[in-house]
Structure 1
Amino acid sequence: MNVQAEQEQVLTSSAVAGGAAPFVATGACEDAVGRAVRPLDMGKLREEYQQQGAFLYLSDFLPADATQQLIDAANALLPEVNRNYLPGHKAGGSVSRHTIDRLAPYIAELYRSPQLIAWLEKITGDRLQLSPQDDPHAYALYYYMRAGDHIGWHYDTSYYDGRRYTVLIGVIDDSSCKLDYELHTKDPGQADVPGSVQYPPGALIVFDGDKLRHRVTPSLEGEMRVSLTLEYVTNPNMRPWRRFISNMKDAIAYFGFRQVFRKALGVKA
């Protein structure tokens, strides 16, 4: 199945499963992605990604009109934010893909963009697939809105049988928060290389979740930061015991039990 066919199939089945009317791609998203990727030097970026141990940062990626769509969606979804707090590790808010499917279809369309997926495949060198429909992390918004909101050092561990790639896109950044990271931590032949970025709206970061150790530094009073995460996999299969661990982590640390176990709880929207 090609990317376009997969996109259409997932859009339709996701809407039916969620009880919502399917949305129709307007073409505006694909146009924006095309304008983003066409000017880029693919060979140079691929080399940079490899040299940094499966990590790439672009400070200016999405066009202004597409970025504004994300900003508008993030503001509209403020009433849907699920707050969570894990002492010593994280504090903040999240909105899962299930809520995004209902209320912010532009984000879902961006996630499934054939041009974006094709570009990411050239960067990573892998055949990428969409995360399964029941994965609330497939695309999600993360909010840092209160003093002390942060997330500690971690990897985006893949519970799937294959690799999971993380794409971060800056949405709102009226904050002093930074993404601190360490390259090559899983490569015994190279020294760890620390780095730090404060990625603005429209910026993009892509990395192999199992290879990049990273954190988000605490926000201050009166600050606001929102980032969009897109997750792509090389194998969508997940063993039952890993699924249980992944679901519990998502329910406690991110989206709440109602979102993560929505099917079992009979949540239709």
Structure 2
Amino acid sequence: MSEQAEAVPDLLTLPGERQQPFADRADARADPDADVAARVGTLGHSAPRAEFERQGAFLHVGEFLPDEVTAGLVASARALQDRINRNYLPGHKQGGSVSRHTIDQYAPFIAQLYRSKALIGWLEQICGEQLLPSPEQDPHAYALYYYTREGDHIGWHYDTSYYNGRRYTLLFGVIDESSCRLDYELHTREPDVPTQAGSVQIPPGGLVFFDGDKLRHRITPLGANQMRVSLTFEYVTDPGMRPWLRFVSNMKDALAYFGFRQVFKRLAKGQPPRA
């Protein structure tokens, strides 16, 4: 099921340099929270919230992240290519993933953006709910998804929440040298509202924000000699989860995304999971 990339050294050190995560250098001067605060200040929230509600908890913004933040994400994504865990599920999914555990170690810039108060505050205004970070042991809290081989894709699905509350997905375009599209269906779980189909191509710095239990979606297959990388953030309204559902969620993530080593990393080290 899983095809693990070959190991590379944990640290990349150049002569005379202090050791540090190799993805940290490209964005050492960036301040993602300040950059995002400036952006959302000009974008506002009234019109995006109205669009989010009209579309049944779905919003697409073609240009969102400032250039400096997008550049930091691109640098991080390229630096982490040797850390990809590839998976193949016949008839449903083919591609590569890098979990938040690896990101924490090698690309702290992404974790900074995930915790941006300006970003979370704007998202809360859009969805009308308090959003909390996913628990530390959740490898999906923030993760990179790589389509690098012809045919990489994911079939129709929901981002099902196993948490006691709702789980919202924020998807950023990072690298898009492809013909892949996000196909989606709105209002599929609203019996009195007609289903509405749509399709978007998310450029670097663009975003999609939605309630994971409401949006049915897929990514169309990658063509030859193409590449696509996206970044997802997951926020929850209640971080509690029943033990059985935690096991189901972990098994799905291990088989379909990150591999058993990443998903059960804390348990393997004897560290209890934190909520």
Q: 1:253 to 1:122 in 2, by over 3 A?
A: same
Query: Contact 1:258–1:267 (CA<8 Å) still a contact in 2?
Result: no
TM-score, scaled to structure 1: 0.89
Amino acid of the residue matched to residue 115 of structure 2? R
1: distance between equivalents of 2:218 and 2:261? 27
Structure 1 residue 26 displacement after superposition = 6.4
1:85 paired residue number: 88
Are 2:73 and 1:74 equivalent residues in the alignment? no
Query: Contact 1:185–1:211 (CA<8 Å) still a contact in 2?
Result: yes
Gaps of 5+ in 2: 1-20
Amino acid of the residue matched to residue 155 of structure 2? G
Structure 1 residue 264 displacement after superposition = 2.1
Q: State which of 179, 189, 200 in structure 1 corresponds to 2:192.
A: 189
1:148 paired residue number: 151
CA deviations 1:26-75 (Å, max 9, x no partner) are 67111211122111131111111000000000000001111000000000
Query: Contact 2:169–2:235 (CA<8 Å) still a contact in 1?
Result: yes
1:118 paired residue number: 121
2: distance between equivalents of 1:176 and 1:44? 29
Amino acid of the residue matched to residue 70 of structure 1? L
Amino acid of the residue matched to residue 144 of structure 1? Y
1:17 paired residue number: none
Query: Contact 2:30–2:68 (CA<8 Å) still a contact in 1?
Result: no
Alignment of 1:1-269 (within 5 A): 28-266=31-269
Amino acid of the residue matched to residue 157 of structure 2? H
Query: Contact 2:165–2:238 (CA<8 Å) still a contact in 1?
Result: yes
2: distance between equivalents of 1:182 and 1:267? 42
Greater helix fraction, Structure 1 or Structure 2: 1
Structure 1 residue 267 displacement after superposition = 8.2
CA deviations 1:137-172 (Å, max 9, x no partner) are 000000000000000000000000000000000000
Q: 1:198 to 1:27 in 2, by over 3 A?
A: closer
Q: 1:63 to 1:205 in 2, by over 3 A?
A: same
CA deviations 1:103-146 (Å, max 9, x no partner) are 00000000000110100000000000000000000000000000
1:10 paired residue number: none
2: distance between equivalents of 1:38 and 1:130? 22
Amino acid of the residue matched to residue 106 of structure 2? L
Amino acid of the residue matched to residue 221 of structure 2? P
1:9 paired residue number: none
TM-score, scaled to structure 2: 0.87
Gaps of 5+ in 1: 1-19
Amino acid of the residue matched to residue 83 of structure 2? E
Structure 1 residue 266 displacement after superposition = 1.9
Structure 1 residue 196 displacement after superposition = 0.2
The root-mean-square deviation of aligned C-alpha atoms, in Å, is 1.5
How many residue pairs align between the two structures? 246
Amino acid of the residue matched to residue 206 of structure 2? A
CA deviations 1:181-211 (Å, max 9, x no partner) are 0000000010000000001000011000000
Runs of 4 or more off by more than 3 Å in structure 1? none
CA deviations 1:63-90 (Å, max 9, x no partner) are 1111000000000000000000000000
Identity %: 62
